[in-house]
Each structure stands twice: as C-alpha cells, then as structure tokens.
Structure 1
Amino acid sequence: MAPAVHHRTVIVNGLEVFYREAGASSSPTLVLLHGFPTSSHMFRHLIPALADRYHVIAPDHIGFGQSAMPSPEDFPYTFEALTEITAGLLQHLGIDRYALYVQDYGAPIGWRLALQDPDRITAIITQNGNAYEEGFVKPFWDGVFAYAAAPGPETEAPMRGALTAEITRWQYVNGVADPSLVSPDNWVHDQALLDRPGNDEIQLRLFRDYPTNVDLYPQVHQYFRDSQVPLLAVWGAGDEIFGPDGATAFSQDLPNAEIHLLESGHFALESHLDTITEHIRTFLTGALA
C-alpha cells in the first residue's frame, strides 16, 4: 500500500504555509523545493514513491500553490525572504538535519539554507536546479537580466509574456522526448494560480530579484568545495532554461558528484519519475549510510 500523503498548513511569520508530508518522522528527512511556476504539486507522485524510506516534506513557497499570497506591499518577494519562510517552516517542524531536492527557484532557496547552516544538509539532489553560469540558456535568460537591470515597459513586456499559458505549457513539454507522457493538468493547474489577481506583480518582483542568486554563486561554490556534500544531479538534458552544462558544472567543485542527463526537459519528473526515483533511492542509500 502506498504511504499516506498529508496536506497541512501552518503559520510562519504570520503567513499560511502549505506543505505536503509523508513518511515516518523518525526516518531521514528529505525536503523538496519546487520551482517556477509550479508548487509542491510537482512532487505529488515522487513523495509517495520515497516515503516508505524517508520523511518527505514539500512546501509551497509564499505566492505559489496553496500558501499565502500577500501583496508585494505586504511581503518582500525576494529569494532571501522565501528562504526565511522555508527556514521558519523547518524550525517549526523541528527538522534540523535533512537532504535537499531542488528544482529551478528551489535551488537558490536551497543554496541559501545551506549557506546559513551547512551542517544541517546531509545531501543534495538537483533536478534542473542551477548553481553555475554555464547553466543559463540564451535567449531565455537575456530578458530576465535585462528586466532586472532596467525595469520599464520595454523590458517588462517579455517578462509578462513568460506568465502566459503558452509559455507555461512550453516549460513542461519543451525538450521532452515523448511529450505525450506529460499531463496537461500540470500547466492548466499552474496557469490558474499564475492568473490570480495580483500574482503577476509577485512574479515580476521575483524576476527582478533573480540576479541576487547569481551574485551568490561564488559563496555556493565555496560551500561545495569546503563541504564536499554528496550531490546527485538528475537533469532534463533538453531543458532550454537550465541546460545540461549546468549539471556537469557541479563536478568543478564536487568531483564525486553523480550526474545523470535524461531525455527530458525542465520538469523531468513528469516523464522520468521512475528513473529519477531509482537514482534518488540508490544515491541516498549511499550518501546517508
């Protein structure tokens, strides 16, 4: 019988934070951090696939999924602020040692958690979660960095285009060897949340803050070199947001990193769930031994 997955909400710093939880609390903890434009929904199949052996926690970031969506006037939509909420959730749950699974936006949040307290991190799984400039694929990122450098009507227009149903669907099917494996429920679900009144301004704030993540890369690389944290990269090689060079770059600072390039795209779990699950189970068995 598949492990039960619980859907819970707690208050962190005055805000409702939704999270999914499964597995025995006495088991090693794995924290799953989602990317843009999705939520913990992206882990709906992975959580029960791992919960027989691990205590799995998957929160929705503020402004995403089922978590609170305060206005930008009431919450500073920066990656530092999102990290503070995630750290507060883990403290509330009494989790002080855990492995990380990071994807897209989840990566800079995860890197900040690791820099705050390296000894808490037992292992890292990165699925198209970038930490190197080699990972940025042009022209996708040109618009983001142009907008962050000079916000205005001309640079904002392409970023608003990134919030459309067409681009949300593209993020799911682009680079996937067999797109028929990807359920359209994914982009319909994500788009409905993106289309909530006021959510566009939230996403624009995060786009403008994104360069702070790149500024952090030297510290992240130093953390990798100093800690030699066990790291698994399971990466959709067809991703035109974070390309495969972003996966192989981890070996620059972590020579023992385990890297697998899959015939998939940005959301590789949708087409390669079983493959990724097996890689994770094998990796964590060794890393947490």
Structure 2
Amino acid sequence: MPAIRHHHVEADGLKVFVREAGDRERPTIVLLPGYPSSTRAYVRLIDRLATSWHVVAIDYPGFGSSDPLPGEPTFDRLAATTGKVIDLLGIGDYAVYVFDFGSPVGFRIALEHDQRVRAVITQNGNAYTDGLGPDMDVLKGWWQDRTQDQDKVDWVVSLDGTRHQWLVGAKDPEHIDPEQALADQAVLDLPGRADYMKALLWDYQTNIGRYPAWQRWLRERQPEVLAIWGRNDTFFVPAGAEAYRRDVPAADVVLLDTGHFALEEAVDEIADRVNAVLAKTFA
C-alpha cells in the first residue's frame, strides 16, 4: 500500500488538512467526508484505492485537523474553500466521492468545476427529498422554529449523538471502531466548535433548496454515477440512492446491509465498486 501523505494547504487564510496517497500522475479521486467526521474515516478506503489512483481526502474548515472558518460557517463557505484546495493541489479532471455532508459540499463544487468532475460516487450522500430519513426530523422541526428542540440539537453534538451517527444501522455494532466517535468528539469539544457545527446543521436546510440545481447538473452532464448506500441508514434512506436514476438512468445503485458509516462494515465491496467506476471513467 502506498504511504499516506499528511499535510496542510493554505486557502482563504486557513490551514486545510489533506490526506493524499498514490501516484499524482494517475487519475484523481477526491474524498469528501461527512458530519461529524474527518478524513480519518477514509483511511481504510484510501489504502484500497491508492495502489491504482491518486487519492485526495480533504478536511473541511473546522473539521478534523483543519482551521475553522472565522464567523458564521455555511455550506457555501465550506465548498468555496474546499474547491480552492482542489485547485491549489493542481487537480484537473477528477472523480468525487461524497458522503453525508460531502454531498452538499461536493455538488456545490461540481457546479463550479463542471466538466472536470467526471464521476460521482455517492455513499449515503443525499441530493433528493426522497432520501431524507427519520433521523432528519429533529432538524426539520428545528428549522421551523430555532427556539424549539434546542435540547435535541445539543444532543446531536454530544458524545451520545456522535456515537449514534457512527452506529446507526450497523449490522454488528462490534464492527464499528469506538475510537472513531471519540476522535470526532474531541474536535467537537474544542472551544466554540459545538456552536460552529450547530450553525452548519442550521444551514443544512439551504441544501434542500439546491437539490433541483444539482439534479439539473446530473441530467445535463450525465457523469458516471455510483450510488452505494448503507440501506439501514436512518439519516439518508435508500430512496435517496434510487432517486439518482431519475436524472442519470445509467447510474449504478447498490444497497448494502449496513448503516450510515458504511465503510466500517463494507469497505472491501465499496472499494471494489469504486475501482470499477474509476476504471470505466478514466479508460
């Protein structure tokens, strides 16, 4: 396995953390993580992809080992900085792997980079109202009235909430490394970081209004699409995976017997499927 290079890229005055592996002369896949995780969640996948591809995984500002944005964070701002990092790394055409928060970040970037995004691998990365599951109901209620359900939103950024994210839908909870949640919570417990994440959870509602634009991009571009989903996820349910076929009829939809953090239990199958998409895309 190629060694993973750990470094920072300075963008918008911030140090943004990057994990990078593989030969830079080969086609690139960019991995965009979810909430509340960092690119640490991708290490096992990076190992399986980097023998054949150039793999880049980016911690958004305020996630993992990246500096937080000053002021109020939004998905627009996360995407703008992350897109600049991709440019600063000298990446031309690439495939993007989106999970959870990676979908709203990744699709914003895709609309800007357009033809450069050759393939979309979406692992529980939602772009359709069909895909919003019951665990999103707390946020939907809160979006109607920010003074309500504050205790439930506080729970989301607590250790119990973080553990729930990692465990939900898992076929066997013993397959989920408990240190993943602890590492994520260590970031959430930094001064001001819980409020930072709650601001992003509030801003998440803006993504739903962007769905039609992302769907239009998919229809017009017809990139290679792999929608590979932990079917037991209660945040983003399987209907969200199936919906990609409405805009990209050739999309490959794969439902796995696992949960939200599907890589914990199905990394080998996911890696095999991703490798096949990349080989087809960059043939």
TM-score (norm 1): 0.95
Residue identity in the other structure for 1:99: A
What is the match of residue 137 of structure 2?
A: 142
DSSP-derived class of the 1:27 partner = coil
Q: Is the 8 A contact 1:148 1:210 kept in 2?
A: no
How far did 1:178 drift?
A: 1.8
Alpha-carbon distance in structure 1 between the residues aligned to 2:233 and 2:136: 13
What is the match of residue 75 of structure 1?
A: 71
DSSP-derived class of the 2:243 partner = helix
What is the match of residue 23 of structure 1?
A: 22
Alpha-carbon distance in structure 2 between the residues aligned to 1:171 and 1:82: 21
The Cα offsets for residues 254-287 of structure 1, whole Å up to 9 and x where unpaired, read as 1100011001101000111111111111121112
Residue identity in the other structure for 1:240: T
DSSP-derived class of the 2:185 partner = helix
Q: Is the 8 A contact 2:229 2:256 kept in 1?
A: yes
Unaligned runs of 5+ in 1: none
Alpha-carbon distance in structure 2 between the residues aligned to 1:173 and 1:205: 24
What is the match of residue 87 of structure 1?
A: 83
Q: Is the 8 A contact 1:173 1:179 kept in 2?
A: yes
Alpha-carbon distance in structure 1 between the residues aligned to 2:113 and 2:275: 25
Alpha-carbon distance in structure 2 between the residues aligned to 1:117 and 1:19: 19
How far did 1:288 drift?
A: 2.0
What is the match of residue 241 of structure 1?
A: 235
The CA RMSD measured in Å over matched residues stands at: 1.1
Q: Give the alignment of 1:47-126 within 5 angstroms.
A: 47-70=46-69, 74-126=70-122
How many equivalent residue pairs? 283
What is the match of residue 211 of structure 2?
A: 217
Residue identity in the other structure for 1:89: V
Alpha-carbon distance in structure 2 between the residues aligned to 1:85 and 1:268: 27
Alpha-carbon distance in structure 1 between the residues aligned to 2:238 and 2:89: 35
Q: Give the alignment of 1:149-228 within 5 angstroms.
A: 149-152=144-147, 154-228=148-222
What is the match of residue 259 of structure 1?
A: 253
Alpha-carbon distance in structure 2 between the residues aligned to 1:149 and 1:184: 34
Alpha-carbon distance in structure 2 between the residues aligned to 1:175 and 1:8: 33
Unaligned runs of 5+ in 2: none
Alpha-carbon distance in structure 1 between the residues aligned to 2:204 and 2:170: 26
Alpha-carbon distance in structure 2 between the residues aligned to 1:142 and 1:170: 15
TM-score (norm 2): 0.97
Residue identity in the other structure for 1:50: L
- Structure 1 segments (4+ residues) deviating >3 Å: none
The Cα offsets for residues 156-213 of structure 1, whole Å up to 9 and x where unpaired, read as 2211111121121122222111221111111111111111121111011101111111
